[in-house]
Structure 1
Amino acid sequence: MQTALFDHKKALVTVCAWAIGLAIFFPILWTILTGFKTEADAIASPPLFMGFDWTLENYNEVLERSNYFRHFMNSVVISVGSTLLGLLIAIPAAWAMAFVPAKHTKDILMWMLSTKMLPPVGVLIPIYLMFRDGGLLDTRSGLVLVLTMINLPIIIWMLYTYFKEIPGEILEAARMDGATLWSEIVYVLTPMAVPGIASTLLLNVILAWNEAFWTLNLTAAEAAPLTAFIASYSSPEGLFYAKLSAASTMAIAPILIMGWFSQKQLVRGLTFGAVK
């Protein structure tokens, strides 16, 4: 009786999980399919899901009109660069918060997280003026810097959570063996937290890759990533849905592929805990 009830609950949970997953994935699927339609089919009413003539015309036009690979490289440099710079700052900061007793650690963490609640437009003008006067407008280094500052609170929060799961006795033993502060962080703490650091890296690469507000406002042409590449297909003449969908598919495909192949590492990092 109990086994049958358990099986029914498991089946119900599985069905609900698949339904939620398909509902979340459907807009992505629709975008991918629309990229293979003609403009007429893209705006057809009722919408055409599968019964349309497949074409690569939109992708050919997108590649001819825009320098996709330059935008792609800008996205790679900006997202990976900002994440690595954030990790260099966040690992020592998270170590200090996790293993050095302090009265106001939680207050500092909450203050850091509260900065993510600030509307970006509220600080756009001062940051824009600083970038303009500092020669950082439309540069990869400028975007790496601003995205590092934006995502740093999340990086520190995640690493702090993982580091807290590591027994402090292990680090104390390393100190007794003569490990310096640098050696303790690099050779003891970091290897033990590799799953957590890897998942933090992956999640923040995705956040930086998808960032649109700052990349659209602080770039023009040279450092424009794929978010600007997509926005260029929204013109005063109107929206060209098929071409816009083709451009969107080309922009999200790299990050979808990366997420697919790294999902095991991501799950392992999110469930990371110390050996008890």
Structure 2
Amino acid sequence: MTTHLPTVASAPPPTRNPRHRLPQPPSARRRKGWNTAWGLTAWGAGLFFFLPVAWMVLTSFHSETDAATNPPSLAAHLTLSGYREFFGSATGQSPLPALINSATASIGSTLLVLLLAVPAAYALAIKPVRKWRDVLFFFLSTKMLPTVAGLLPIYLFAKNTGLLDNIWLLVILYTSMNLPIAVWMMRSFLAEVPISILEAAQIDGAGLLTTLRRIVAPIAAPGIAATALICFIFSWNEMLFARVLTGVAAITSPVFLTGFVTGEGLFLAQVCAAATLISLPVLAAGFAAQDKLVQGLSLGAVK
């Protein structure tokens, strides 16, 4: 004979109102408030630095009369006359040679810098040489001399060797100017490369060139991209050496930009149009490498 025990109905689990939340502790609320404040501060700083750029772009679409008004008018008539003047609609002087020279000097010097800086940084970070701190300080000491102090000797050297108004002289100068910065940056990036991966590659019989090409370069790609972008920007924006050492054949974009400041006055709309177009390659390079720049501080992951 079987007996059936009475079943006790279990109470349903208490339902929680989705709108009801537990109160946050004071420290969490305080931390959230600080994060919000820092976020607003970052947005404010970004807008503050972006405002002159936005004003330059807007002024480039104004006529010279509207661009010279004080205070400037936001509702002025928009026109493309400044851009037509930049491309030589009136003078017939095309900016393409200057843009090509800037691209040649910037890209050529950046490639040379990376070709020299990566092995040097590898020796200083992963295979430390003797007195590597003194070597880093020597690289840094080359940036302590003001640029204008070496301008006269470089000019005399270029004049005596027939390198005046030669774009390859700028490539060599920009390489020497950016190499110390590149070595310092690449050394900090390569110091984060896991030694275990390099030791495993050596056990498998990989040589130095194979290690650099197939192991170090893929891991340090964000650092290489960041270094290349910095060197490209510095080379593209350099004007002092380009102004003194070039004339017609090797003129660069910054020097071409100064041609809009004449004895007749400052053509503000034309200058803004020229500055906007000359800045586009740097902006394009920054947008193209932005994912690598974000990854630049996250090196060293062992798979």
Instruction: Give the TM-score band, short-chain normalised.
Output: over 0.9
- In the aligned structure 1, how far is the partner of 2:259 from the partner of 2:123? 44
1:143 paired residue among 158, 170, 173: 170
In the other structure, the counterpart of 2:107 is 80
With normalisation by structure 1, the TM-score equals 0.93
Q: What residue number does 1:251 align with?
A: 278
Per-residue CA shift, 1:206-246, capped at 9, x if unaligned? Answer: 11111111121211121212111111111122211111111
1:6 Cα offset (Å): 2.8
Question: What corresponds to 1:167 in structure 2?
Answer: 194
TM-score, reference length from structure 2: 0.85
* Counterpart contact for 1:90–1:156, Cα < 8 Å: yes
1:182 offset after TM fit, Å?
A: 2.0
Counterpart check, 1:44 vs 2:91: no
How big is the shift at 1:35?
1.0
Q: State the distance in 1 between where 2:288 and 2:216 align.
A: 26
Higher helix share: 1
The code of the aligned residue for 1:63 comes to F
Q: 1:53 matched to which residue of 2? A: 77
Alpha-carbon distance, 1:125 to partner: 0.9
Aligned to 1:5: 30
User: 153-162 or 216-225, which moves further after superposition?
Assistant: 216-225
Which residues in structure 2 correspond to 1:124-139 (within 5 Å)? 124-139=151-166
Q: Which residue of 1 aligns with 2:223?
A: 196
Aligned-residue offset at 1:30:
1.5
Structure 2 vs 1, CA of residues 35 and 141 (structure 1 numbering), >3 Å: closer, same or farther? same
Query: Offset of 1:8 from its aligned partner?
Result: 2.1
- Matched residue SS, 1:53: coil
Shift in alpha-carbon separation, 1:161–1:243, aligned structure 2, 3 A: same
Given that residues 202 and 266 in structure 1 are in contact (C-alpha distance below 8 angstroms), is that contact kept between their aligned partners in structure 2? Answer: no
Q: Is the 8 A contact 1:62 1:247 kept in 2?
A: yes
Deviations 1:60-118 (A, max 9, x none): 11111332222211111111110000111111111111122334212221221222232
Indicate the residue corresponding to 1:205 in structure 2. 232
Partner of 1:32: 57
In the comparison of the two structures, how many residue pairs are matched? Answer: 274
User: How has the CA–CA distance of structure 1 residues 194 and 262 changed in structure 2, closer, same or farther, with 3 Å as cutoff?
Assistant: closer
* Alpha-carbon offset, residue 19 of structure 1: 1.0
Task: Give the C-alpha shift of residue 7 in structure 1.
Answer: 2.8
C-alpha distance in 1 between matches for 2:161 and 2:204: 47
Partner of 2:258: 231
Mind listing any 5+ residue stretches in structure 2 that lack a counterpart?
Answer: 1-25
1:274 maps to 300
Of 81-90 and 233-242, more deviation after overlay is shown by 233-242
Give the AA of the match of 2:277.
M
Does the CA contact (< 8 Å) of 1:196 and 1:272 recur in 2? no
Identity, in percent, stands at 39
Q: Which runs of 5+ in 1 are unaligned?
A: none
**What amino acid sits opposite 1:187 in the alignment?**
R
Partner of 1:22: 47
Cα contact 1:82–1:144 (8 A) shared by 2: yes
Matched residue of 2:79: which SS?
coil
Q: What does residue 185 of structure 1 align with?
A: 212
- Using the TM superposition, give the Cα deviation of residue 196 of structure 1 relative to its aligned residue in structure 2, in angstroms: 1.1
Deviation, structure 1 residue 205: 0.9
| Residues 38, 242 of structure 1: 8 Å contact kept | yes
Contact 2:221 2:292 in 1 (8 A): no
